[in-house]
Amino acid sequence: MWSEDSGHLSDAELVQFADGEAGRDGRRMEEHLTACWQCRARRAELERTISDYVQVHRSGENLPPLDESRARLLAQLVQLAATPVPPSSGHGFGKLAYGGVAAACVVLLGFGLLYSGVLQAGGTLVPDQELTPGATRGVSREDVCSQDVSEGFYPIPRPVAFSVFENYQIENPGSHSYEVDYLITPALGGAGDIRNLWPQPYASGVWNAHVKDALEAHLHELVCTGKLDLKIAQRDIAANWIAAYRKYFKTKRPLAQHVAFSVDPPWEH
């Protein structure tokens, strides 16, 4: 498995680049791929695996349900990616140590499952700004830091949830596939307005509801300890919650301890 320390792009970066999630790092990755045939070959391997799962999805075969097991799998992958692999005693491209081969197989299988989940869910990593620009209530820092606001989750009425799915053109949403999520959580003064709601993938993909829950909890803590202005927290999470996560946790990808973090339950029929 490639790692950043090897001088090559990591598997996670290659998948992010292929999925268009590289953001500002996209130019750097593209330049590296142009110069590095080994990373281009590795990218092709990953894309073939993803393509196989696309074909399975299109063939109509039943795919695994999206649930906590996928989140736990991704947590293992994140930890695995951070584990250095001893160098192989062999020579030449493709001769990896036994541990490296096993790790690569797990990563390919894991990303395949995660991508099959994304295809099945059909959700969006960040909401459509025209449909979900975010909406807040007229509350103060003291209001959002009171005990009755800072604890528990905030259920959304089923008719409202169905309207959200309809707005996003999602028919027959599967149980445990989504969280009908507040873009700005009520714990940060978010309103129960349809303009503040969107169907977020619950456990599929890298940037899912578990990771956003961790960000929400962190922002709430920063606000209530006086380290962050409430309006800034609201603005950042509404503008792009993935960018906000990277900003406040100072990381390009979700931390391992956040992959299975959970506050709000998934949508159920």
Of the pLDDT bands very low, low, confident and very high (cuts 50, 70, 90), residue 183 is very high
- Judge whether 33 lies within some domain: yes
Average pLDDT over residues 25-37: 82
pLDDT of amino acid 134: 95
Q: What are phi and psi of 178, to 5 degrees?
A: -135, 160
**DSSP structure class, residue 266:** P
Predicted local confidence at residue 262, as pLDDT: 74
Please answer whether residues 253 and 208 qualify as being in contact, where contact means their C-beta atoms are separated by less than 8 angstroms: no
- Residue 197 phi, psi (nearest 5): -125, 145
**202 in the same domain as 112:** no
Is residue 264 in some structural domain?
no
At 108 the pLDDT is: 46
Tens of pLDDT, residue by residue over 203-214, are: 777 888 889 999
- With a cut of 60, say whether residue 30 has pLDDT above it: yes
Residue 50 clears pLDDT 70, i.e. is over it: no
Q: Where is the domain boundary, 121, 152, 186?
A: 121
> In terms of residue numbers, what domain contains 91?
4-121
d(CA 77, CA 219): 26
How far apart are alpha carbons 195 and 231 in whole angstroms? 18
In the chain, the number of structural domains is 2
Is residue 192 in some structural domain?
Answer: yes
Choose the final residue of a domain: 121, 155, 175.
121
Percent of the residues in the chain that have a pLDDT greater than 70, as a whole number: 64
Nearest to 120 by CA among 202, 14, 242: 202
Contact 223, 233 (CB under 8 A): yes
Is there a single domain that holds both residue 65 and residue 24? yes
Q: 87 or 40, which is more confident?
A: 40
Q: Residues 167, 80: one domain?
A: no
Does residue 116 share a domain with residue 47?
yes
What is the reported pLDDT for 128? Answer: 92
Contacts of 179 (CB under 8 A, 6+ apart): 199, 200, 202, 209, 264, 265, 266, 267
What the block records as the tokens of 197 is: 């709601």
The answer to whether residues 18 and 115 belong to one domain is: yes
Q: Comparing C-alpha atoms, which of 218, 202, 265, 212 is closest to residue 243? A: 212
Q: Determine contact, residues 204/68, Cβ cutoff 8 Å.
A: no
At residue 66, does pLDDT exceed 50?
no
Do residues 108 and 167 share a domain? no
- Judgement on whether residues 102 and 206 belong to the same structural domain of the protein: no
**Percentage of residues of the chain with pLDDT beyond 90:** 33
- Tokens 């999520």 locate to 181
Same-domain pairing of 168 and 249: yes
Name the maximum alpha-carbon separation found in the chain. 65
Q: Is residue 129 part of a domain?
A: no
Render pLDDT for 214-228 as a digit per residue (tens, 0 to 9).
999 999 999 999 999
Position 135 in a domain: no
Residue 199 and residue 249 in one domain: yes
pLDDT of residue 135: 96
Chain centre distance of CA 113: 14
Q: Give residue 266's pLDDT.
A: 77
Mention every residue, 6+ apart, whose C-beta is less than 8 A from residue 224: 141, 144, 145, 150
Please give the average per-residue pLDDT across 152-171, as a whole number.
Answer: 87
Domain check: are 8 and 117 in the same one?
Answer: yes
Q: What is the pLDDT of residues 184-203, one digit of tens each?
A: 999 999 999 999 999 998 87
Domain membership of residue 55 (yes or no) is yes
The answer as to whether 152 is a domain residue is yes
| Structural domain includes residue 63 | yes
Q: What is the pLDDT of residue 140?
A: 93
Asked if pLDDT for residue 57 goes beyond 70, the answer is no
Same-domain status, 28 and 115 = yes
